[in-house]
Chains A and B, each alone.
Chain A
Amino acid sequence: MTLRELVASQRFCQGLSEGQCGELAACASERQFAPGEFLLRQHAPADTFYWVLEGQVKIRLALPGQGLVTLETLGPDEAVGWSWFAPPYRCQFDALATTPTRTLAFAAAPLRALMERDPTVGCAVLKVLVSTLSERVQSCRLQVLDVYAPPGGRR
């Protein structure tokens, strides 16, 4: 499978033309990560948008006094990182592979330029990003609710 075919087979390319998928593929490369290898580092420039094809990635945050806390794990068909889309383009969290992980890595600057130039592509990518954000906000709310805690014992 060529890179263009691989990109075109992802769900954010549904409804896009071959030419548009080709333009998206021009921003992309396939990248693999070994367990423990970082996709994103907190505070680093957010210059890449990763789309997981295989493997598992954990999102991690350093908390003073508590060390490194894993907030969630992500898997195939999921986006890693959205800080690349909005200024100041800085990663808010660490993202690191916990198993051998294969991704599509989109260079952020040309991807943003393509989204500005072709609103159909921009809308397709944004739909996936917004649905990702919506799912994660909902999950985060459930985590904050601490639904498994004993009544009166939530903390």
Chain B
Amino acid sequence: MSAPAEPTLPAPYRIVGRRQDSADVFTWTVEPLGEPALTFLPGQFNMLYAYGIGEVPVSISSAAAGEPLLHTIRAVGSVTRPMAALPVGTVIGRRGPYGSAWPLAEAEGGDLLIVAGGLGLAPLRPAILGALARRAQFGRLCLLYGTRGPADVLFADQLAAWRARGDLELRVTVDRATPDWTGEVGVVTRLIARADVDPARTTALVCGPEIMMRFAGEALLRRGVPATAIHLSLERNMKCAVGYCGHCQLGPHFICRDGPVLAWPRLAGLLDVAEL
């Protein structure tokens, strides 16, 4: 999927829906004003511009086909906090899609193990929906999702629907349980050893806080998943999103252009360098 001819020019989009997913996470439904519906690949991101406030990279959380464009955003910084207060009907700018995608086609024919931490479930959602839409093309399909506490579980209705399908192993764990939580407790990386997949024929897609992804990658390697079959989605300080400015550089990679999805061998040794 290529970026538009003028890659830094935002197109106007209207916020047509807003859902509060947790205390600080919300999802916008946005529609283009005068341009055709966006085509993108699962794992790619857009730059969203709140006029007069600022611009941030946000992964696309909707299905690649059959859903309106969704962006799930955490109100955490000087741009996303004001964004959280924008009412439905507000016009924003959007440019993209940018970056690399989850290697779903490469994963076909084998098992798919998806490891999500916190808001990392959002960029993985299009991949999960894509795999479910072509369910017969995959072997076992397993989603491991870890988050801080029960109140932080995203897409709860969606998770329930996925669990009800019966053709996807779903395990949800929280780091900090409340007395009424009856699910698993502990970090998501510990679930990797328990996932019902054949490691040698598994492709792993991982997204979450960087430290969680580092330990997930190591747990996947211990389990026997080939390094080349482990893919992480990284987040960095993206500004131009097209590899001009270098703000998002991680070692030899520009995450906006070479990533956000990168295979483990390209990241090994970079995720535990404090200066990066």
Contact = CB atoms under 8 A, between A and B. Distances in A.
Given A69-B177, A70-B177, A142-B211, A150 B185 contact: no
B175 A148 contact: yes
Contacts of A6: none
A71 B187 contact: no
B212 A142 contact: yes
B269 interface: no
Interface residues of B, number: 30
Contact of B187 (A76, A98, A142, A151): A142
A73 B181 CA distance: 12
Say which size band chain A's interface belongs to: 20 to 34
B76 A143 contact: no
Interface in A48-72: 56, 58, 67-72
A44 interface: no
A52 to B, nearest CB: 11
Nearest to B118: A148
A70 B178 CA distance: 8
Contact of B189 (A98, A139, A145): A139
A72 B194 contact: no
Contact of A72 (B119, B147, B185, B215): B185
Contact of B76 (A70, A73, A77, A151): A151
Contacts of A116: none
Contacts of B139: none
- Among B117, B152, B187, B208, residue most surrounded by chain A Cβ atoms (within 10 Å): B187
B74 interface: yes
Interface string A105-147: 0000000000000000000000000000001001100110111
Contacts of A135: 190
A1 interface: no
A149 interface: yes
- Among B117, B118, B175, B211, residue most surrounded by chain A Cβ atoms (within 10 Å): B175
Contacts of B173: 73
A148 B152 contact: yes
A58 B179 contact: no
B117 A75 contact: no
Contact of A150 (B24, B187, B193, B194): B24
A73 B211 contact: no
Nearest to B218: A138
Interface in B175-220: 175-177, 179, 181-187, 189-190, 193-194, 208-209, 211-212, 215
A150 B209 contact: no
A56 B148 CA distance: 20
B179 A68 contact: yes
Contacts of A71: 185-186
A138 B215 CA distance: 9
B182 A98 contact: yes
- Among B74, B177, B181, B211, residue most surrounded by chain A Cβ atoms (within 10 Å): B177
A146 B147 CA distance: 10
Contacts of B175: 142-143, 146-148
- Among A56, A67, A70, A143, residue most surrounded by chain B Cβ atoms (within 10 Å): A70
A119 to B, nearest CB: 26
Nearest to B23: A150
Contacts of B193: 77
B186 A139 contact: yes
Given A56-B184, A148-B148, A148-B208, 5 more contacts: A76-B194, A139-B187, A147-B208, A148-B117, A149-B148
Interface of A: 56, 58, 67-73, 75-77, 98, 135, 138-139, 142-143, 145-151
10 contacts: A73-B183, A73-B184, A75-B194, A138-B215, A139-B187, A142-B187, A142-B211, A143-B176, A147-B211, A148-B152
